[in-house]
Amino acid sequence: MRSLPLPLALTARLTPVAVLACAGWAMSSGPATPSADSHGSSQETPTHAASAPSSTAASKSYDTAPTPCTSVPVATVKSLVPGAKTAGKEIPSTDTSLRRTCSWNALQGYDYRWLDVSFEVAGSEQEAKKEYEQRVAERSGGGTVPGLGDAAYSIVNLTTEDKQETREGVVLARVSNALVIVTYNGSDFESKKAPSTDEINKGAIKAAKSAVAALQGGGSG
């Protein structure tokens, strides 16, 4: 397929990321989500992977956020974001010891994919629990992801703007005093259709499993 210039919908997606990069991540802010005033937006309940391995056997305390751009295997990045630079791009943070995010995105022909993986370290497990519960409460319509961290939640949204569909999945996971946030979305700018709920949800959960494993492998305490 031919490549083409970035469409307006993609440009709109990139703009808020640039603003966040300048401002840094706030502990109270969640992952990027579709605009609430997008035309024809709807919310979908995802399908969860029942075979997710248990990762709650050992509870650690985390002092620093791990390197996000190496938290997802190269093979997984290639499968979820075809054509993206596998090294990813880390978004500047006001405090990299507590908040770190890596992004991968690519437009291959007319098919667009975006993946964000973020780590946030709270001062205590109780603080992390409170933050996790607040973010889950803001995203009704999803469901728990069994066996991922101490608690995990997944939701998929479909938005339509100027007849262009975008489907986005968000996975929130808590491991002791740390949060893992994965955002994965996609669009087809030729058909104007979005990938299926199943594809986006499974992709977000797959990346989240890798990110949680990376966190647990590098934790302290």
Query: Is the Cβ–Cβ distance between 158 and 194 less than 8 Å?
Result: yes
* pLDDT for res 6: 43
* Phi-psi region at 74: left, alpha or beta (left = phi > 0; alpha = psi -120 to 50): alpha
Q: Which residue has the higher pLDDT, 45 or 136?
A: 136
| Domain boundaries of the chain, sorted by first residue | 8-24+38-217
Please provide the average confidence, as pLDDT, over all residues in the chain. 81
Tokens of 16: 């808020």
Cα dihedral angle (172, 135, 217, 93), rounded to 10 degrees?
A: 110
- Using the predicted structure, report yes or no on whether residue 2 has a pLDDT greater than 70: no
8-24+38-217 has CATH 1.10.10 classification: no
pLDDT tens-digit readout, 79-128: 999 999 999 999 999 999 899 999 999 999 999 999 999 999 999 999 99
Strand partners, 113: 106, 186
* pLDDT for res 39: 35
Element (H, E) at 199: helix 197-217
* pLDDT for res 59: 61
The amino acid sitting at 167 is R
Sign of CA dihedral 185, 215, 135, 154: positive
- Using the predicted structure, report yes or no on whether residue 56 has a pLDDT greater than 90: no
* pLDDT for res 140: 85
Tokens of 185: 């979305």
pTM assigned to the model: 0.74
